[in-house]
A and B are shown apart, each in its own frame.
Chain A
Amino acid sequence: MYPSRFRYEAPHSLDEAIGLLHDGGDYAKVLAGGQSLVPLMKLRFASPELVVDINNVPGLGYHRADPDGTLRIGALCRHADLEHSDLLPGTQPTMAAAAPLIADPIVRNRGTLVGSLCHADPQGDWASVVLSLGGSVVAQGPGGRRTIPVADFVLGPFENALHPDEIAVEAVIPAAKGVRAGGYLKLERRVGDFATVGVAVSIETAAPGGTVTRAGIALTGVGGATIAATEAAQALLGQPLSADSIGRAADLAAAAAQPRTDHRGSAEYKRHMVRTFVERILSRADHEAERAA
């Protein structure tokens, strides 16, 4: 299989890349890791006329924490960089849990977190993770930069909020006010498969085991788009974690899922797994907090 014909440019600066997109007409595509775009082009589900490869733009491969703890992930930071990162364990439990579960090790060498958010696949894991953390995407276009909360960035299946001449330059995870806990659990049929069910939970407490001051729960693969289980997250607020609050959040998350029966499992089974995963992540967080306290 091979893609249909396209013009290829590999600029060495962001400005040049944005200029190419601006002049490139209706059907220009940014190429980052290529682990979603190239397969789609080979299947001719995507046939862009212009491909702007950003892999030669220097300075986009970073992920780093600002002094205040805000985490920034550049457009060319690969899944593997996050999997092997020393920065995430401890401070970013949800991200650290998700990184090794994206695709397979070879795909992770190329694919990027920012590309995954742009791709907006309802079965993409990073969108749930970043949504649960209240993260955002920084877009740069001819008019400058703007920051888009990921809740407004992922518009629907395979649809994002970028203008055609904008590039997503980084994803931003806000600093935790206090201690961050949580995790990501994914049910997959085999390594490299997309999620049958994925659940991201991120909470913040003033101290380990203390009152929950912020909570985010997001679901992968159980609806037409990434689902923010807002009510479930709210059920955790204003109290320390307890069997009671965990159970309520798990029930509400299961209710927020919109799974469909398919070759990966029945709707009932998937809904049940959402409940189980929310409970498992939060119970584990609770135990770890007890041990830390």
Chain B
Amino acid sequence: MTMVYEDRGDDAAVEVPMRRIRFTINGEKKIAEVEPRLLLSHLIRRGVGLTGTHMGCDTTNCGACTVLVDGKAVKSCTMLAVQVDGRSVETVEGLATASELHPLQEGFKQEHGLQCGFCTPGMMMAAKALLDRNPDPTEEDVRWALSGNLCRCTGYQNIVKSVLWAAAKLRPGTADPDAAE
């Protein structure tokens, strides 16, 4: 993968070898040639071409860039791409199957969990990490798990409802999450 950077004149002295990394993203095996300073968010967006992972702040504050690495939620703007060598990455594109939305996506649709949608991929991935660990969260659990993700539109109420909707849908025996409310 060729990366084009601004030339700020300060890097010329350091020769840095490219590194070859192998990783899986949404279940697909990949090999990439990366410079060590490439961020995971850049690898995902520009390298793999999956632009669902959004860059909000680029300063580790907003959580829009949240993806799962080996099942744990991380801010991809704050991890080096070389660090996923041998690891598995999940992004928002991995949620839906060819024919069906993931219950989280359905939940955000049913409960109007988004307005502009910029924060949504990060919200969903942080929520997925929560539901993988705790299939029956309380409202407080959901608020706590999403407290590293900022939304400038919704006021969070509907995001929390969306995640609870998805949790109900994912639990065995709940046919209709709306009826469960």
Contacts and interface: CB of A to CB of B under 8 A. Distances in A.
B60 A105 contact: no
B178 to A, nearest CB: 28
The winner among A2, A6, A51 for most chain B CB atoms within 10 A is: A2
B50 interface: no
A58 interface: no
Interface of B, helix, strand, loop or mixed by DSSP: loop
Interface string B32-69: 00011111001000000000000000111101001000
B11 A106 contact: no
Contacts of B60: 35, 38-39, 107
B126 A4 contact: no
A109 B83 CA distance: 15
Contact of A5 (B11, B61, B126): B11
B58 A106 contact: no
A110 B36 contact: no
Interface residues of B, number: 36
B30 interface: no
A106 B37 contact: no
A3 interface: yes
A110 B10 contact: no
Contacts of A47: 10
Interface in B16-36: 16-17, 19, 35-36
Nearest to B38: A2
B155 to A, nearest CB: 14
B19 A8 contact: yes
B78 A5 contact: no
Interface of A, helix, strand, loop or mixed by DSSP: loop
Interface stretch (B92-100, B102-110, B141-149): B141-149
A106 B16 contact: no
A3 B8 CA distance: 12
The winner among A38, A39, A41, A49 for most chain B CB atoms within 10 A is: A38
Given A2-B39, A8-B82, A192-B147, A106 B74 contact: yes
B37 A4 contact: yes
Contact of B147 (A5, A35, A104, A110): A104
A277 B143 CA distance: 25
Contacts of A3: 37
Contacts of A178: none
Interface of A: 1-8, 10, 31, 34-35, 38-39, 41-42, 47, 49, 51, 53, 55, 103-107, 109-110, 191-192
Given A105-B144, A192-B61, 14 more contacts: A1-B58, A5-B14, A10-B85, A41-B37, A42-B39, A42-B58, A51-B36, A104-B63, A106-B66, A106-B75, A106-B148, A107-B148, A110-B79, A192-B148
Interface of B: 5, 10-11, 14, 16-17, 19, 35-39, 42, 58-61, 63, 66, 72-75, 77-80, 82-83, 85, 126, 144-145, 147-149
